[in-house]
Amino acid sequence: MIAQLSRLDELAVVSGRPRFEEKLHVGRPNIGDRAALMGRIEDMLDRLWLTNNGPLVQEFEARLADYLGVEHVICMCNATVALEIAIRALGLTGEVIVPSFTFVATAHALQWQEITPVFCDVDPASHNLDPRQVERLITPRTSGIIGVHVWGRPCAIEELSEIAARRNLKLMFDAAHAFGNSYGGQMIGGFGAVEIFSFHATKFFNTFEGGAVATNDAELATKIRLMKNFGFAGYDNVIYIGTNGKMSEVSAAMGLTSLESVDTFIAANKRNHHAYRRGLAGLPGVQVIAYDDGERCNYQYMIVEVDEAAAGISRDDLVRVLHAENVMARRYFYPGCHEMEPYRSYFPHSHLLLPETEKLTQRVMSLPSGTAVGPDEIGPICEIIRAAVENPDALRPYLAAADGRH
Ligand SMILES: *Cc1c(COP(=O)(O)O)cnc(C)c1O
């Protein structure tokens, strides 16, 4: 009992002294070889070719196509614009079925072009679209399905492909989390009509800002290339409606450099994942989500599900405990897209149709990983979580006080 209390005293919600002096963030950028990056940037400056399908973008696209085992990769300024363009190039209209348990960009990319995102519930085991629910939401206005490989774990690709084929719907994937991952031994990027990656600075593989579309459909690739460059087919020759989705050369320089270190980044994530797994083993109500070790996986998201009934402490309180220690755990995805505007106003009753999504938005948190943290941080983070879960009653008054301060 005394030992437990002394550990409780060590928690910052009690003592006011955080375990970490500097904040540990989720999604700190991974940076590759600086000299290689600077070399590419120097060459770029010498060339005076900063954007508009320069040599670095061309090289990056070729390397990505090779890495992903797909025929066409089109780099873009970010994944949201890549989603918007892919949606438009695929000719989606009316209603499109998407999960609510995703980053809001998946829904916004539809609504931005006045296509209605129809939110579908997820499978609580995979956190991904539940194919049986998808089938029930199809109406005469439905034109497509966008699956999201949440945390990089592949969607029910086969079931969704079967439904899309049988009901004559387009299928695409938001693969923003799944760069470097495989399904059935085949790299994510080649499934559905098109898959979209994000290379935002908070993703484990970044180009500062950036994204890419991957497809094996040559016609679609041509359309997407036109759309991301104002519809220019050549000098002074616009043959299509387009926007500006181009990736700049400096982003491609970062991308090429990141690609050279991608295995190192993944190894750090994997090491961290297993360190958390060991550190949190056996804690009631605290479950680290598992990845399939038989597939290629980037392990970028360190996701924990907190079952308040079993843990004795809610996810939100655990996040409070961690924030007091300067461990900036994040509630993900919180709230669900259906609870954000404009969807909340458009579909005020959708939460009734999304019970599993609602539960997950209350249970899931993301912990710091990537090259910015290692065993020296993860050990203490796990001790903090363990101390909180082992003393929920004693902590309650302190949490109420901490809540008042936030
Ligand atoms: C990050 C993310 C996006 C948006 O990517 P950007 O490159 O920031 O536009 C879209 N969907 C999901 C699931 C994401 O995590």
Residues 323-367 have pLDDT tens digits of 999 999 999 999 999 999 999 999 999 999 999 999 999 999 999
Residue with tokens 């029910």: 156
What are 98-152's pLDDT values in tens digits? 999 999 999 999 999 999 999 999 999 999 999 999 999 999 999 999 999 999 9
Torsion of the alpha carbons at 128, 131, 135 and 138, rounded to the nearest 10:
30
β-pairing verdict for 211-215 and 194-198: antiparallel
Mean pLDDT of 162-173: 98
Q: How confident is the model at residue 3 (pLDDT cuts 50, 70, 90)?
A: very low
Q: Which pLDDT score is estimated for 2? A: 42
B/e letters for 241-270, b = 16+ CB within 10 Å, e = fewer, are ebeebbbbbbbbbbbbbbbebbeebbebbb
Note the pLDDT of residue 401.
77
**402 band by pLDDT with thresholds 50, 70 and 90:** low
Question: What pLDDT score was predicted for residue 220?
Answer: 98
pLDDT given for residue 150 in this prediction: 98
Nearest ligand 1 atom to the CA of 102 is: 13
Decide: 79 in ligand 1 pocket, CB within 6 A: yes
* Residue type (1 letter), 6: S
Q: Are 225 and 73 in contact (CB under 8 A)?
A: no
- Reported as a pLDDT band with limits 50, 70 and 90, residue 7 is confident
198 Cα nearest atom in ligand 1: 7
Predicted local confidence at residue 172, as pLDDT: 98
Segment 282-308 shows an average pLDDT of 97
What pLDDT shows up at residue 4? 52
23 is an active site residue: no
List all residues 6 or more positions away from 142 whose beta carbon is below 8 Å from its beta carbon.
Answer: 94, 95, 96, 97, 118, 167, 169
**How far is the centre of ligand 1, averaged over its atoms, from the C-alpha of 242 (Å)?**
21
Residue range 70-77: average pLDDT? 98
Q: What Cα–Cα distance (Å) separates residue 251 from each residue in 49, 63, 191, 257, 260?
A: 13, 14, 26, 10, 14
HEC sequence for the chain? CHHHHHHHHCCHHHHCCCCCCCCEECCCCCCCCHHHHHHHHHHHHHHCCCCCCCHHHHHHHHHHHHHHCCCEEEEECCHHHHHHHHHHHCCCCCEEEEECCCCCHHHHHHHCCCCEEEEECECCCCCCECHHHHHHHCCCCEEEEEEECHHHCCCCHHHHHHHHHHCCCEEEEECCCCCCCEECCEECCCCCCEEEEECCCCCCCCCCCCEEEEECCHHHHHHHHHHCECCEEECCEECCCCCECCCCHHHHHHHHHHHHCHHHHHHHHHHHHHHHHHHHCCCCCEEECCCCCCCCCCCCCEEEEECHHHHCCCHHHHHHHHHHCCEECEECCCCCHHHCCCHHHHCCCHHHHCHHHHHHHHHEEEECCCCCCCHHHHHHHHHHHHHHHHCHHHHHHHHHHHHHHC
Instruction: Kindly name the residue from 203, 223, 228, 246 that is annotated as catalytic.
Output: 203
CA of 245 to the centre of ligand 1 (A): 15
Pocket probe for ligand 1: among 76, 100, 174, 213, the residue whose CB has the most ligand atoms within 8 Å is 174
- Domains of the chain and CATH, by start: 34-260 (3.40.640.10), 262-403 (3.90.1150.10)
Peptide bond into 342 cis (omega under 30): yes
Confidence at residue 274, expressed as pLDDT on a 0 to 100 scale: 97
Alpha carbons 325 and 12: distance in angstroms, whole number:
6
Average pLDDT rounded to a whole number, residues 217-236? 96
pLDDT at residue 32 is higher than 80: yes
CA of 278 to the centre of ligand 1 (A): 30
CA of 37 to the centre of ligand 1 (A): 24
Per residue in 254-277, pLDDT (tens digit) is 999 999 999 999 999 999 999 999
Q: What is the pLDDT of residue 403?
A: 65
Mean pLDDT for the chain? Answer: 95
User: pLDDT band at residue 1, thresholds of 50, 70 and 90?
Assistant: very low
Is 80's C-beta closer than 6 angstroms to any atom of ligand 1? yes
- Report the distance separating Cα 208 and Cα 201, nearest Å: 5
229: number of Cβ within 10 Å = 19
| CB 93 within 8 Å of CB 115 | yes
- The pLDDT of 186-214, averaged and rounded, is 98
Q: What six digits make up the tokens of 333?
A: 């995805």
How many other C-beta atoms can be found within 10 angstroms of the C-beta atom of residue 113? 12
Preceding amide of 335 cis, omega within 30:
yes
Per-residue confidence (pLDDT) for residue 6, from 0 to 100? 60
* Residue 328, number of CB atoms within 10 A of its CB: 18
Q: How far apart are CA 261 and CA 270, in angstroms?
A: 14
Structure tokens belonging to residue 110: 């539809």
Evaluate: CB of 103 within 6 angstroms of ligand 1: yes
Q: Is 107 near ligand 1, meaning CB less than 6 Å away?
A: no
Question: Nearest-CA neighbor of 26 among 266, 321, 322, 380?
Answer: 322
Q: What average pLDDT does range 226-233 have in this prediction?
A: 95
Residues 6+ apart with CB under 8 A from 175: 149, 188, 189, 195, 196, 197, 214
Mean of the pLDDT values across residues 367-381? 96
Residue 249 has pLDDT above 60, yes or no: yes
What is the average per-residue pLDDT within 308-312?
A: 96
Residue 310 pLDDT > 60: yes
pLDDT value at 392 more than 60: yes
